[in-house]
Structure 1
Amino acid sequence: MTIFHPTDFSASSHVAFRHALRLAFGLGTGLTIMHVGDGRTSREDWSRFPHIRETLARWNLVDPGISQAELEPLTGLRISKIEATGRNPVEVMSHYLDEHDVSMVVMATHGRSGMAAMQHPSVAQALARRIHRPFLFVREGVPGFVTADGSLRFNHVLLPVDSEPDPQLAVDQVTWLERELAASVGVVQALHVGDGPLGFPLAPPDLSNGALKSLSRPGRPEEVIPAIADENAADLIVMVYSGPASLSERWLGSTTEQVVRAAPCPVLALPAPRYE
């Protein structure tokens, strides 16, 4: 199992790095950090990459004097830093992900919309359309569920649900996060956007102390979901996506993409299973 984190060394990318590192440490798995450059800077300048051991020591998760050789045996954390070169970052990263077993992509996104999105398309969302993997989008300006001291905060998790794609995958993912990260989840809210209730039961998450609540609200999903997340100070939105289905979605972006642009917290987007 490996978490893949693309970085452009910006401040917004640093917050995404914080989430990628904390998840990888909690899961005791691999973390691959990739920067795609144009070749004009030195490929040997590793100092630009985020500092792993210093960050973990600041979070009091490892001893300050831990060596690089000790990191994996003591924590299970396997670090790989890749300086790649190419004119099209999406192409470079897609090729890497096609060739490697990556379980989750954790990536910063600027959350642009309208004309700004047309002039500067989102690399994160373009990559998610091409790669059938779970994506954790951390939008610029959003603090997220990993605090500055490395603590995990899952007081409120929002699950937008509908009959299609099957929302149970999102419910089960919350159970998995609590168990694997040893992080207590508080309220899990299943939100159905429509004129009536969901219409079928969900198996509740198997949480230590958390509760599953249900809410139905009329309106447009891309507007209602961020609004409810903001109302409840959600720490994370988990939703299942199947990609753009209509011509308008291809132009404006799928519901998930539009939620990512406006959400006040990170969005974990889970690809719907594909059946041959």
Structure 2
Amino acid sequence: MADIKTILFPTDFTEASLKVLPYARYLTEKLDAKLIVLFVVEELSKYANFYVPHSALDNLEKELMESAEKKMQSFIEDHFEDFPVESLIRRGDIPEEIVKVAEEKEADLIVMATHGRKGLEKILLGSVTERVIKTAPCPVMTINPFRVKK
């Protein structure tokens, strides 16, 4: 069996991620691995052609990054106070950035929820999890957060 030393846990800070979090922690502890918690701020430059001034998008992206940093700090304090993790915030296409971080950090496993986006947003943007599974450099463990027993 492969040696799992680095686990990547992409989060969007939603209830779905919170339900998957115990699995990431458990695997990290049992395998004596390193846990990397990742949040990706979606890049807004693809919306630049919608008559929104570029400077407005730049300001919004800056605010989103600052907000993400605060949210990540709070998330780590709330859920990993007694647990060593590396936290990362990236900006870009969410599935692409998850895969890039997995490659850069030489992740041996990605643990993530099967669901995140819902409805029209999922139809328009596609499934992040599906895209990660198809392009990841390592195994991806997916957990359906709506089927997790309490």
Q: Is the 8 A contact 2:41 2:90 kept in 1?
A: yes
Q: Is the 8 A contact 1:111 1:139 kept in 2?
A: no
Partner of 1:142: 147
Partner of 2:12: 8
Q: 1:48 to 1:18 in 2, by over 3 A?
A: same
Q: Which amino acid aligns with 2:17?
A: S
1:48 corresponds to which of 50, 68, 75: 75
Partner of 1:122: 127
Q: Which amino acid aligns with 1:29?
A: A
1:57-87: CA deviation from partner (whole Å, max 9, x where unpaired): xxxxxxxxxxxxxx5xxxxxx410112122x
Aligned positions of 1:28-107 closer than 5 A: 28-38=32-42, 39=61, 40-41=63-64, 42=66, 43-45=68-70, 46-49=73-76, 51-53=79-81, 78-86=84-92, 88-107=93-112
Return the TM-score normalized by structure 1: 0.39
1:21 corresponds to which of 22, 25, 31: 25
Query: Helix, strand or coil: the match of 2:148?
Result: coil
Please identify the structure whose Cα radius of gyration is greater. 1
Higher RCO by CA contacts (8 Å cutoff, separation 6 or greater): 2
Which structure 1 residue ranges, 4+ long, deviate > 4 Å from structure 2?
Answer: 111-117
Higher mean C-alpha deviation, range 5-14 or range 107-116 = 107-116
Aligned positions of 1:92-241 closer than 5 A: 92-110=97-115, 118-143=123-148
Instruction: Give the number of equivalent residue pairs.
Output: 122
Partner of 2:57: none
Identity of aligned residues (%): 24
Q: Which amino acid aligns with 1:128?
A: I
1:66-110: CA deviation from partner (whole Å, max 9, x where unpaired): xxxxx5xxxxxx410112122x11121222122221111100122
Matched residues in 2 for 1:120 and 1:131: separation? 18
1:117-157: CA deviation from partner (whole Å, max 9, x where unpaired): 5434110110110113111111131115xxx5xxxxxxxxx
Q: 1:117 to 1:37 in 2, by over 3 A?
A: closer
Q: Which amino acid aligns with 2:146?
A: G
Matched residues in 2 for 1:112 and 1:99: separation? 26
Return the TM-score normalized by structure 2: 0.69
Q: CA deviation at 1:53?
A: 3.0
Q: 1:51 to 1:121 in 2, by over 3 A?
A: same
Report the RMSD for the aligned CA atoms in angstroms. 2.7
Structure 1, unmatched stretches of 5+, are 55-70, 72-77, 149-276
Q: Is the 8 A contact 2:114 2:129 kept in 1?
A: yes
